Amino acid sequence: MINPRRYPLLATIAIFVIAYAICYVQFPYMLSTRVAGNLLTDNAYLGIVAVGMTVVILSGGIDLSVGAVIAFSGVFIAVMLRDTGLHPLLVFALLLALTTAFGAAMGALIHRLGMPPFIVTLAGMFLARGVAYMLTIDSVAIDHPFFDTLQSTYWLMPGKGRLTLIGVIMLLAFVVGHVVAHRTRFGANVFALGGGQQTARLMGSRVGRTTVMIYAFSGLMAGLGGIVFALYTGSGYPLATVGTELTAIATVVIGGTLLSGGAGYVFGTLFGVLTMGLIQTYIVFDGTLSSWWTKIAIGVLLLAFIVLQKALLRLGTPRGAAPA
């Protein structure tokens, strides 16, 4: 018998398969490797950030800072390459160290002060965006030979589709996220924390350390997403990716992770990302629909999955007990 908590994941996969079939009937070219390659490339930065967001939501938390961290990352890379002689790889390493430390600091505040993740990460969002503005208020183009090489690196698939480097990085991020969340002691602690701090303590989890590591991981993924976004756009801009944190949350929920925490799959988030990308691709192929239909479709899917999650929580509540 299928575990009811897997229903959101199965629903996500089914929706993606059905939607792709509908798209194929209308536009047979949708099945080409070129479209598949573009689907991965165009959504790479969102997918990477969503990996970190999945771990955060599995723990029952939220991270509103990721969009601002992506913008800061792009500006940091652009300014450092423009004003210093550092190699891009060194700049990337410095950036990931900064964003990981930033996430860890938010996690420490959440645990030590007992503050809601919403408030702490909201403050982190304003802080990261503000620092990006301090570095520059203009868009800064990135011009470096090694950076150009990374941008132009791809693998030619059958059908002449291009699997770009950033597409591969996104897929690897999901593999790492799956291992971290579902195959490690840390991942078990994340799920335990999603069931409540008391539950986590009873299971022997060190709540403070786990909380810090969760938000450090989210910061790492946001920094990596920022690197990928910089490679995708070729510039850094402090106003970039406004609202990406909300899109990432929607992606995770559509991917089958419960907003209440404690249940979900990183693999499901991948299908959530691909479903969003597929909606955008369909609108481009159709040519007559406004881009706002993407927001409408995402809103409908998000509402449907929240209703499904609520129904599952009621099913899992013993008779006579109050539903969550």
Residue among 309, 220, 186 at smallest CA distance from 259: 309
User: Which CATH number fits the domain 4-314, given the four candidates 1.10.10, 2.170.130, 1.20.120, 1.10.3470?
Assistant: 1.10.3470
Q: Give, as one character, the DSSP assignment of residue 59.
A: T
Q: Give 104-107's long-range contacts (Cβ < 8 A, gap of 24+).
A: 104/212, 104/213, 104/215, 104/216, 104/219, 106/63, 106/65, 106/215, 106/219, 107/211, 107/212, 107/213, 107/214, 107/215, 107/216
Residue-wise pLDDT tens digits, 101-131? 999 999 999 999 889 999 999 999 999 999 9
Residue-wise pLDDT tens digits, 233-290? 999 999 998 989 999 998 998 888 888 777 889 999 999 899 888 888 888 887 777 7
Using DSSP's 3-state secondary structure scheme, residue 164 falls into: strand
Q: Say what the pTM is.
A: 0.91
Alpha-carbon span 224 to 68, nearest angstrom? 13
Using DSSP's 3-state secondary structure scheme, residue 154 falls into: strand
**At 81, which amino acid appears?**
L
Residues ≥6 apart with Cβ < 8 Å to 304: none
Alpha-carbon span 315 to 311, nearest angstrom? 6
Using DSSP's 3-state secondary structure scheme, residue 80 falls into: helix
Residue-wise pLDDT tens digits, 158-210? 888 899 999 999 999 999 999 999 999 999 889 889 877 777 777 777 888 99
Tally DSSP H helices, then E strands, for the chain.
Answer: 14, 4
Residue-wise pLDDT tens digits, 25-74? 888 888 889 999 999 999 999 999 999 999 999 999 999 999 999 999 99
Domain definitions of the chain by residue range: 4-314
Residues ≥6 apart with Cβ < 8 Å to 319: none
